[in-house]
Amino acid sequence: MARRPLALLFDLDGTLVDSIELILTSFRHTFATHLGAVPPDSRWIAGLGTPLFTQLREFTQDDVLARAMTVTYREFQMQHHDRLMRAYDGVREAMHALRAGQHPTALVTSKMTDLAERALTFTGLRDTIDVVIGMESTERHKPHPEPVHTALRALGYPPGEAVFLGDSPHDIQAGNAAGVISVAAEWGPFSTADLDAAHPAFRVKRMADFPALVARLGAP
């Protein structure tokens, strides 16, 4: 009996879309506006893959201030979204090839669902994703496995028949904890050392290599 196509889960920022400059510009603007000083970009990058409010609480113990900063960040990001957002090279082609292979797909992101939908639509990727699991879709967030399990339930797949591609250690940790095959995307902002420390099952250097890996993993 032939195996059904593997379920494919994807992170968004740093994996499917190159939004890193948008994210960092929003971060710098927010901290300059509210605190008058901007920490090094590396401190913000370390938290990528986790919810925005969670990241901000790493810098302030004041919930009121963190909520105000969240509003500023999101307003700035919405204003500059289309100018600083694009799909990574080879992503559209790879995603359409995977769709041709009848793989069910889910986006697993810590971004708010409406912003994730906007990014997918703007970059021409919306029709390649079946299910969007955004920040408000779960109570717990990456690196916790709940978002991955939620996506699998929506697709009707067990962990053993799924692959999760992400660019951050938080993605890999969530995938590993959920029991799926975790694949590290090397084109995001994290170093290979950071990715390897999270113990992905595989690494891919470019999105164009991912469909071939999926084909190998799904072979009888």
| Whole-number Å distance between alpha carbons of 207 and 93 | 9
Cα–Cα dist 74/3, whole Å: 43
Q: Which of 11, 13, 18, 167 is catalytic?
A: 11
Cα–Cα distance for residue pair 4/15, rounded to 1 Å = 25
**Separation of alpha carbons 52 and 206, rounded Å:** 27
Which residues on neighbouring strands pair with residue 133, listed in sequence order?
Answer: 108
Residues 149, 24, 18, 192, Cα dihedral to 10° = -70
Tokens at 154, concatenated: 């929506």
Sign of CA dihedral 44, 23, 131, 125: negative
In angstroms, rounded to a whole number, what is the distance separating the alpha carbons of residues 163 and 169?
Answer: 15
Q: Which residue has the tokens 């999105």?
A: 207
11 is catalytic: yes
Q: Rg (Cα) of the chain, in Å, rounded?
A: 17
- 42: which 2 tokens? 């590396």
- Structure letter (DSSP) for residue 69: H
Catalytic sites, residue numbers: 11
